[in-house]
Structure 1
Amino acid sequence: MSSFSGNIRKMRVSADPTGKVNYVLPIGEQQVHMNPLIGHTINVSHSGNIHCVHCGRKTKKSFSQGYCFPCMSTLAQCDSCIIKPELCHYFQGTCREPAWGEEHCLTDHFVYIANTGDVKVGITRHVGEGISSRWIDQGASQAIVMLRVADRLLSGEVETLCKAFIADKTNWRTMLKGQPDGQDLIALKQQLLDKIAPELATLQQQKGLQAVQMVEDTVHDIAYPVLQYPDKIKSINLDKDGQFSGTLLGIKGQYWLLDGDRVINMRKYSGYELTIELDD
């Protein structure tokens, strides 16, 4: 039996050229490759200790998926504008950490449409030629970039225009119920662009033509390592139960899927000190 102990972090994700997703769980100083463990028995226990993923401080409660209260209250990466980019206040001179804002917010962002069981709109900083880790974390089976914009605030403003016609949230229960039907994202993208065209033209007049740019139509298909999806979802709560064991049937988004229709959002427990035992 193999055993790993330490504070965990959000699973690292990547996708190969065919769209197949690979997962690695950081635990302590080790990196556990999760895909080969699917189909095997896994035992997980929480020591009761939680450490902030930013400063390492021991904390009784985790905030914003892994931070202690002081870090959650002071870090720019924990500010409300991270969840609602249209509230970015860097240009008002009130950013909690201007240097962090310059690196993360004053860069190109991409507005996208994704199929996570329902079609949604969202934003991400990282696309390049491949698949965004944000799409994987949200459990999207398909995604297409709609627009490239100049900064985070502008991405939030465009996303807000889109929210009048399309959701901006992932229904995690729907996402975990199975592989969704394919959607014609190219057609949906064009329909949405047509609906927001007047407001988009106004933003271009205000910010400049290069601030909002069209992007070539490329639909990305994403495949997750799942043997079986749950019929009725039962969430595992480490704060309440402290431990669990069972057969790992798959991973989607940041969720582990286990036998007995059980699921656990591992990202929620970033900073928790766990012991993970694996049957060889």
Structure 2
Amino acid sequence: MTQSYSGALRKMRTHANENNEVCYELPIGESAVDVNALIGSEIALSFSNDIHCVHCNRKTKKSFNQGYCYPCLISLAQCDSCIIKPEKCHYHEGTCREPEWGEAHCFNEHFVYLANTGNVKVGITRQVSDTISPRWMDQGATQATVMLRVPDRLTSGLVETLCKKHIGDKTNWRTMLKGKPEDVNLIDVKHELMEKISAELAEIQQEKGLQAVSEVESKVHHINFPVETYPDKIKSINLDKTPDFSGVLQGIKGQYWMLDGDRVINIRKFAGYNVTLQVL
């Protein structure tokens, strides 16, 4: 029997089960769809050509920054350029778009980490404990470990900038979707990187205090994704150009669905799009 779900898309919610496999839940309208359960099934998705901002729900002809209308893009702190480049935080200059939002999200502990997404990268997150960070799952990381703990977002950006002189900070999504990469000794990479940035790290500690940056003795987390078949040649689906598609769901990694015919779609990119999903 065909199952049908309609409404606005949101990025998939994730958690890791006891086997460290990522479990995906897709918010669509009022429903929350267990996407893992759909792997191996034929699905069809159609876009109604109706887009609403994920923040203010304003109808918009074009979505910006994964779901926002243009007025929200230029007014919200969460859409400011310092979210992508935290070393450019300008709260202390009195120019934060939304000071209360900044105080709630930027002035708390952040962590600098290393992850294997097909290549080893450095990144920052607020969500780390003994469990797997949602950020690692969203990036399709098969391994990750924490390097450093810092007191706020600006400091995390300054430390990340030091690391970027020696290691990349971007995920190559095509490489990430091509298969499971070979394991890397992230602890060795961490120690080598710490040695390379030690002098400049000491300067940050001298300016902000010795406790401002502290090394974290963290294990390497291994993360598994529900994928039956990886694509050979990636063909990306864009709902603006291809509003209707169908096929067999073969796997999920990061925020991507993998379908037969080497097709992939980044669900997060189309947050706010009103669609109908059918399980055939």
For normalisation by structure 2, the TM-score amounts to 0.99
Residue matched to 1:27: 28
Residue matched to 2:159: 158
Question: For 1:9, what is the secondary structure of its paired residue?
Answer: coil
Residue matched to 1:200: 201
CA-to-aligned-CA distance 1:4-59 (integer Å, 9 cap, x gap) = 00001010011123311000000001100100100000000000000000000000
How far residue 208 of structure 1 moved from its aligned partner, in angstroms, is 0.7
Alignment of structure 1 residues 13-162 onto 2, 5 Å: 13-162=14-163
Matched, 1:181 2:151: no
CA-to-aligned-CA distance 1:246-274 (integer Å, 9 cap, x gap) = 00000000000000000000000000000
The CA RMSD measured in Å over matched residues stands at 0.6
Unmatched segments (≥5 aa) in structure 1: none
Question: For 2:137, what is the secondary structure of its paired residue?
Answer: helix
Question: For 2:229, what is the secondary structure of its paired residue?
Answer: coil
User: Counterpart amino acid of 1:104?
Assistant: H
How far residue 209 of structure 1 moved from its aligned partner, in angstroms, is 1.2
Q: Which whole-Å CA distance do the structure 1 matches of 2:207 and 2:156 have between them?
A: 14
Q: Which whole-Å CA distance do the structure 1 matches of 2:117 and 2:185 have between them?
A: 13
Q: Which whole-Å CA distance do the structure 1 matches of 2:259 and 2:59 have between them?
A: 29
Q: Which whole-Å CA distance do the structure 1 matches of 2:248 and 2:21 have between them?
A: 21
Matched, 1:261 2:262: yes
For normalisation by structure 1, the TM-score amounts to 0.99
User: Counterpart amino acid of 1:115?
Assistant: N
User: Counterpart amino acid of 1:169?
Assistant: K
Q: Which whole-Å CA distance do the structure 2 matches of 1:18 and 1:115 have between them?
A: 18
Count of residue pairs brought into register by the alignment: 279
User: Counterpart amino acid of 1:106?
Assistant: F
Q: Which whole-Å CA distance do the structure 2 matches of 1:104 and 1:255 have between them?
A: 26
Residue matched to 1:238: 239
User: Counterpart amino acid of 1:59?
Assistant: T
How far residue 200 of structure 1 moved from its aligned partner, in angstroms, is 0.5
Question: For 2:240, what is the secondary structure of its paired residue?
Answer: helix
How far residue 202 of structure 1 moved from its aligned partner, in angstroms, is 0.8
Q: Which whole-Å CA distance do the structure 1 matches of 2:251 and 2:230 have between them?
A: 8
CA-to-aligned-CA distance 1:85-140 (integer Å, 9 cap, x gap) = 11111111111000100110001100000000000000000011111111111100
Residue matched to 1:10: 11
Q: Which whole-Å CA distance do the structure 2 matches of 1:203 and 1:170 have between them?
A: 27
User: Counterpart amino acid of 1:269?
Assistant: F
CA-to-aligned-CA distance 1:140-188 (integer Å, 9 cap, x gap) = 0000000000100000000000001000000000000000000000000
How far residue 217 of structure 1 moved from its aligned partner, in angstroms, is 2.8
Q: Which whole-Å CA distance do the structure 2 matches of 1:112 and 1:32 have between them?
A: 30
User: How many percent of aligned residue pairs carry the same amino acid?
Assistant: 66
Segments of 4+ moved more than 4 angstroms:
none
How far residue 228 of structure 1 moved from its aligned partner, in angstroms, is 0.4
